[in-house]
Amino acid sequence: MRVRTGALVAAVALAVTGLSTAAQATAAPTRPAVRDVCGDPAPGEVRCFAQLRTDVPRHPARSGGGRTGAALPAGYGPAQLRDAYRLPDSGGADQTVAIVDAGTAPNLAADLAVYRQAYGLPPCAVDDGCLRVVNQDGAAGPLPGDQGWGPEISLDVDMVSAACSDCRILVVAANSAALDDMAAAVDTAAALGATEISNSYGGDEYSATGRLAAHYRHPGVAVVASSGDSGYRIPQVPAAYDSVLAVGGTALSTVDGKWTESAWSGAGSGCSAWTAKPAWQHDPYCPGRTVADLAAVADPATGVAVYDSSDGLGWAVAGGTSAAAPLVAGVIALAGHPELFGDASYLYGHAGALRDVVGGSNATDEFDCGGDYLCTGVAGYDGPTGLGTPNGLGAFGG
């Protein structure tokens, strides 16, 4: 059965019954040759939105990376992403981009060094103060154990590096994937001086999730979050909070030497039943907050390169809106004006400086918007890609 646009708004209210996340979940679009890094969360937990291609030949971790003369791995690298989104090669040296994830990646510093060396990016290490890893309380140790998010964490730091190689990176490792632990880690990131905070995770919103909204509101700090990877459905938090820049996803490719994008079928979008319509958002069919605000590459079929030695993975091609959110955080850092993004209102006032994305759909078997903007890439605002994708720094105060 398919549920049309108006019915989705009503369907979101099912969350008030207290159903578990698993019970509320809808069937994700079929994505062959892809695996999710994070499985279904337990009630009260979030899941990360990183996806890995399983049909792309990769170099195993033991083969290393960044060797002189070595061929670059599959997937888009920093130079391609900067070209696609018309980003400068330098900037952001005074910015600290924080990523919040559950647990730790044991080899994160070494893996990041491999990625950055492979692409000729400057080093970013703990010893030089560029990379800092802390626990949920802001201390260097003890760090929480591995929660299975290793490739997600590597994807986050790699995408920040791709967009803003001069930025400092702060990794805050939450004790667990519980909503309260993740929210506490966001507060820690802000307290430690992060100028941008990227959150590549989410869970279905329901009546009680609004109690955590204040943890994602920090004056002077740009907070971004992935919109999700299951298409048009119940919105995810933290992306649905009105202080957060909700980042959807696109398929990115070249046609006749020119970059082109369409809405990715997995990009999360939806109409909030619990967050009121912000004054700066004016789409017609959703009476509450609409997700997303903007987008970047997320389709694993047109995915990015990532290096992670967890479980012997090595070089891989990744996607999901987990790639898009830290990339956008890096773009905001490049522009150097996080104070403009206490919410998404600045973007809505400068939409003409973004690249509008037309084409593609994220309708699912259960939720179908009937071809309108909530689940279809149309001219102007739409749910899967928001106002569009970066097109230089004009929309970000640069």
Give helix then strand counts, H and E, for the chain: 8, 17
Residue 201's H or E segment, with its range, is strand 201-204
* Structure confidence at residue 59 (pLDDT): 61
- Output the pLDDT for position 310: 84
Please answer whether residues 88 and 334 qualify as being in contact, where contact means their C-beta atoms are separated by less than 8 angstroms: yes
For residues 357 and 385, the answer to whether their CB atoms sit within 8 Å is yes
Q: How far apart are CA 65 and CA 154, in angstroms?
A: 14
The pLDDT assigned to 254 comes to 94
The whole-angstrom separation of Cα 86 and Cα 92 is: 15
Residues with Cβ within 8 Å of 226's Cβ and at least 6 positions away in sequence, in order, are 49, 199, 200, 201, 202, 236, 239, 247, 268, 320, 321, 322, 324, 325
Location of structure tokens 């001086």: 193
DSSP 216: G
pLDDT per residue rounded down to tens, the chain (398 residues): 344 444 344 343 333 323 223 322 333 334 558 999 999 999 999 999 999 999 987 665 543 444 444 678 999 999 999 999 999 999 999 999 999 999 999 899 999 999 999 999 999 999 999 999 999 999 999 999 999 999 999 999 999 999 999 999 999 999 999 999 999 999 999 999 999 999 999 999 999 999 999 999 999 999 999 999 999 999 999 999 999 999 999 999 999 999 999 999 999 999 999 999 999 999 999 999 999 999 999 999 999 999 999 878 999 999 999 999 999 999 999 999 999 999 999 999 999 999 999 999 999 988 999 999 999 999 999 999 999 999 999 999 99
Residue 248: beta bridge partners?
295
d(CA 71, CA 235): 40
Given the DSSP bridges, would you call strands 196-199 and 222-226 parallel, antiparallel or unpaired? parallel
Q: What per-residue confidence (pLDDT) applies to 342?
A: 97
> Tell me, what amino acid is at 282?
H
State the DSSP H helix or E strand holding residue 386, giving kind and residue range, or none if neither. Answer: none
pTM of the shown model: 0.91
Residues paired with residue 285 on neighbouring β-strands, in sequence order: none
Q: Indicate the SS3 state at residue 87.
A: coil
Q: Which of 173, 179, 176, 172 is nearest to 210 (CA)?
A: 179
Residues in the chain: 398
What is the C-alpha to C-alpha distance for residues 67 and 288, in angstroms, rounded to an integer? 51
Amino acid 71: pLDDT:
79
User: Cβ distance 314 to 307 under 8 Å?
Assistant: yes
| pLDDT computed for residue 14 by the predictor | 30
Token pair 């703990």 is at which residue?
126
